[in-house]
Amino acid sequence: MNKKISFGSALILTSFAVLLTFMLTFVNMNNTYNKILADTELNNRIGNKLSEIDREVRRLFIGEIDNQLLLDAIADGYVRGLGDRYAEYMPADRYMEHIRLNQGRMVGIGVEVIFVEERGGLMEVTNVTPGSPAEVGGMLIGDRICKVEDELISNLGYVETIDRIRGEADTDVTLTVLRQGEVYEEELTLTFTRREVQIQTIRYEFMRDNIGYIKVREFNQETPNEFKAALDALEELGATGFVFDVRNNGGGDLDGITDTLDYLLPEGPIIRIFYRGAREEVRYSGIENELIAPMVVLMNENTASAAELFCAALKDYEKATLIGVTTFGKGTVQSINRLSDNSALKISSARYAPPFSENYDGVGVEPHIEIRLDAESMGKPIERLSFEEDLQLLEALRILTYN
């Protein structure tokens, strides 16, 4: 039986609905207004604090003030105050260098180095880019840089050393290097002319038993093309199984890693990204590129960020056996936003997860087979390990040989 509502009752109900809507709107606007007031108060406190400091400095300071240096330092201090270990303020020149590096280009001599503690600090060369000023000038893998110009590496530290080796194109830099000979260590002085160098993120090798080896040093915008070229070359040589080495790979560009994985995965999700405000993005791979072959991934405690996604995605799809130790554990995405003066702000803006498993930030990705290098081998760059010393690679070859 239908129940009829009187006109008066309907009017009361309508009035109540309007009142409720008004109250909800008022509460929402009030909350928004209070937040604006709170943000405005904080902005005023920041401005007042800086103004007070600036007045006192300009009243008392006996030195010269570099205004641009001061502004950069203020911005850097603000970002550091966020407590975001991956956030960074980039002055304009550093931001331009970042863009070049992400595009696979840099101005320098074309070497990759690691800091070693011996003799107070040396920079050991782990890779020399073919055709680079370093190769032309006689630098070899394993050389240890002890001086830049006349400054000891032990006095400069890692960051300052890298900055001094890099520089403007068509300028010279002189390095003193130690090279181990058959009988004794030799000290050499080498001079290089800096120029723009194309960074190579991929090295590959055709190994025994038709196994292809691909070392991925980082993921930038050029990595997918380099990776596909390496796959094609190895398959043409007859490779039927693959070792992907992402040990000491610190990550890199989001598009670089997703486009690289697209060559390996079946159709489906590659990465799930979670932004502020519960917004979610999923990136997918296509079926046409999937590599059908036995695969092993080598990883270590310095495998981080995008390189961890490489491991986790292949693990989620059960496409590869992971060998090594648990990875670093960085599962956040950093956005880089250019500011009005061509400087830039890098800040953690999202968390991400592999295709099906959970976010591994602070946890890392676990291998299927845990193998640690012995103490002596761990003291060397991976590139300098002999075949017999690299227990992780030996296990990978064993698995693929008998797969």
pLDDT digits (tens, 9 = 90+) for 129-155: 888 999 999 999 889 999 999 899 888
pLDDT at 38: 54
Total Cβ atoms within 10 A of residue 387: 9
pLDDT of residue 339: 94
Higher pLDDT, residue 103 or 70: 70
Lowest-confidence region among 183-192, 239-248, 290-299, 379-388: 379-388
Distance between CA 277 and CA 254 in Å, rounded?
21
Reported as a single tens digit per residue, the pLDDT across 334-367 is: 999 999 999 999 999 999 999 999 999 999 999 9
- Look at strands 369-370 and 344-353 and give their pairing: unpaired
Q: Give the helix/strand (H/E) hosting 45.
A: helix 7-60
| Dihedral over Cα of 232, 201, 79, 69: its sign | negative
pLDDT of residue 324: 96
Pairwise CA distance, residues 344 & 28, whole Å:
34
Asked if residues 165 and 173 have their Cβ atoms less than 8 Å apart, the reply is yes
- List, in sequence order, every residue forming a beta bridge with 114; answer none if it has no partner: 124
User: 59-63, 99-103, 317-321: which has the highest mean pLDDT?
Assistant: 317-321
Decide which of 3.40.50.300, 2.40.30.10, 2.30.42.10, 2.40.160.60 is the CATH code for 105-198: 2.30.42.10
Average pLDDT over all residues of the chain: 86
Taking Cα atoms as reference points, which of 224, 197, 227 lies closest to residue 212? Answer: 227
Work out the percent of the chain whose per-residue pLDDT is above 70.
Answer: 88
DSSP assignments along 247-277, one per residue: TT---B-HHHHHHHHTTTS-SEEEEEEEETT
Say what the pLDDT of residue 27 is.
46
Q: Which residues contact 307 (CB under 8 A, 6 or more apart)?
A: 216, 218, 219, 246, 249, 250, 251, 252, 257, 299, 327
Q: What is the pLDDT of residue 378?
A: 67
Q: What is the pLDDT of residues 11-43, one digit of tens each?
A: 444 444 444 444 444 445 455 445 544 567 778
Burial code (b: 16+ CB inside 10 Å, e: under 16) for 196-222 equals: ebebbbbebeebeeebbbbbbbbbbbb
Picking from 183, 174, 220, 181, the residue whose alpha carbon sits closest to that of residue 200 is: 220
Residue with tokens 């946890």: 363
Q: Beta-carbon neighbour count of residue 249 at 10 Å?
A: 28
Closest CA to 173 of 191, 153, 160, 195: 191
Average pLDDT, stretch 193-219? 92
Cα 308 from chain centre: 10
With beta carbons less than 8 A apart as the criterion, state whether 396 and 298 touch: yes
Fold of 202-401: 2-enoyl-CoA Hydratase; Chain A, domain 1 (3.90.226)
DSSP H stretches of helix in 180-297: 223-237, 254-261
**Span of 70-84, 224-238, 380-394 with lowest mean pLDDT:** 380-394
Give the pLDDT band (50/70/90) at residue 1.
very low
- What one-letter code names the amino acid at 57? V
Torsion angle in degrees (nearest 10) through CA of 363, 366, 370, 371: -70
The pLDDT, as a whole number, for residue 392 is 96
**Beta bridge partner(s), residue 189:** 176
Q: C-alpha angle 277/278/279, rounded to 5°?
A: 95
- HSE toward the beta carbon, residue 112, CA cutoff 13 A: 18
Among 276, 302, 280, 334, smallest CA distance to 84 is for 334
